[in-house]
Amino acid sequence: MTPDERIDRLVEALEAAGAPAPEAPSDHAGLVALQGEIAPLRLPDTLRRLWERVSIGSFALVTYPFLSTPEVALGGWRLNRDTDLLVPAGMLPFCYESHNHLLVELEGAGVPGGAVFEWRFTDTSLRLRCAHVDDWLDSLVTLLEDRLFERREGTAGDRLVVDVERHRALLAERLDARGPHPLYGALRVLATERDSWPDHWARATAPLLAAREARGASATVRELLAAARAAEARATLSGVRSNLSIGADRSWRVLLADSTGVLDVHCPVDTPGFHSLGDSPLVELDVRAPKLPPPRARVDWRALVVAPEDEAAAEPRLHQLVPAVTPQAVAEAIRPVRPPAGP
């Protein structure tokens, strides 16, 4: 059965259960960004087509954990990539709810991909739930056909909330029926300790681990700023970070200090290593400094302050004014640096 045939069956089952057919996404920007960032790893076809055809907000079936949007899935993947890599980089959290994930194994690095694991943030092991994400999708059709759900009113229309225990049992039956897994054999629980990872997990993760290693500064803050007076400049800087503000898009503005000066750096959310920013005050940043613009004359800075209503009458704070300032540089990669040992 092709991925589209599987999704067609799911849509038919939803409609037969009295739920509306899901709508198509208004755009694929989130999916495109996800695919770009996980490359050279790839989404299993069924999941890719599901996200291409179904807007998650219009999907009336409520699973546990929730089926994520591509944006949320990418956010979870980045968080894992940038922090402790608690699970292999070849795993994408395509379902998430309250600290529990379903991870789908991505294709590439010599593996066919598709296996689905359950993992909570506090778990020290991954539990194999489906031999392939196709089974997970097919199980939803069975749940609908067997009416193993509860209909609940929601703000966006009726939702069909699946019977979680029956769903788990159904997945377990399908997994047993599949026999030994081509990669994991009879194993159903795999430890998350990196030393015990199968080789293909380590292979998929190795490039990301290498990308997190500090490389050493190529320039100082002072040298970068001097270069940017003539033309756009790029450099790797190493120093101490302190935070200036967090934008509405959750990007960070940070001040990087090295032994020659300080630099105001914008760190967009999609910067590789973004989620490691909070880990260590010592960082290494690959930055791009645009050619220094002509100086700006004085402005009515009080009028620039964006403050919540309850703060409007009080004195403004620095973080409210920082967004009005053009940053001196934009981060292109962020790598944490281990703090010095000892007191």
Q: Rule CB under 8 A: which residues touch another protein?
A: 221, 225-226, 229, 239-240, 242, 244, 255, 257-262, 264, 281-282, 292, 294-301, 304-305, 310, 312-318, 320-322, 324-325, 339-340, 343
- Determine phi and psi for 319, rounding to 5 degrees: -65, -20
CB 115, CB 122: distance < 8 Å: no
The DSSP secondary-structure symbol of 65 reads: S
CB 49, CB 9: distance < 8 Å: no
Pair of tokens at residue 339: 């703090």
| Contacts for 139 with CB less than 8 Å, ≥ 6 apart | 130, 167, 170, 171, 174
CA distances 49 to 69, 137, 189, 197, Å, are: 13, 12, 29, 29
| Contacts for 112 with CB less than 8 Å, ≥ 6 apart | 182
Indicate the residue among 185 and 295 with the shorter CB distance to another protein: 295
Indicate the residue among 25 and 327 with the shorter CB distance to another protein: 327
Minimum distance from residue 232 beta carbon to another protein (Å) = 17
Minimum distance from residue 243 beta carbon to another protein (Å) = 10
Pair of tokens at residue 236: 């790797």
DSSP string, 130-148: ESSHHHHHHHHHHHHHTT-
Minimum distance from residue 316 beta carbon to another protein (Å) = 5
Q: Is 329 exposed, middle or buried (0-12, 13-18, 19+ CB in 10 A)?
A: buried
Pair of tokens at residue 48: 């890719």
Indicate the residue among 20 and 261 with the shorter CB distance to another protein: 261
Indicate the residue among 142 and 260 with the shorter CB distance to another protein: 260
Minimum distance from residue 275 beta carbon to another protein (Å) = 20
Q: Please state, in angstroms and rounded to a whole number, the distance separating the CA atoms of residues 268 and 67.
A: 26
- Determine phi and psi for 173, rounding to 5 degrees: -60, -45
Minimum distance from residue 18 beta carbon to another protein (Å) = 50
Minimum distance from residue 116 beta carbon to another protein (Å) = 42
Minimum distance from residue 290 beta carbon to another protein (Å) = 14
- Determine phi and psi for 67, rounding to 5 degrees: -70, 125
Q: Give the position of tokens 């973004």.
A: 274
Helix (H, G, I), strand (E, B) or coil at 13: helix
Indicate the residue among 172 and 304 with the shorter CB distance to another protein: 304
Minimum distance from residue 229 beta carbon to another protein (Å) = 7
Indicate the residue among 55 and 320 with the shorter CB distance to another protein: 320
Indicate the residue among 208 and 240 with the shorter CB distance to another protein: 240
Indicate the residue among 110 and 342 with the shorter CB distance to another protein: 342
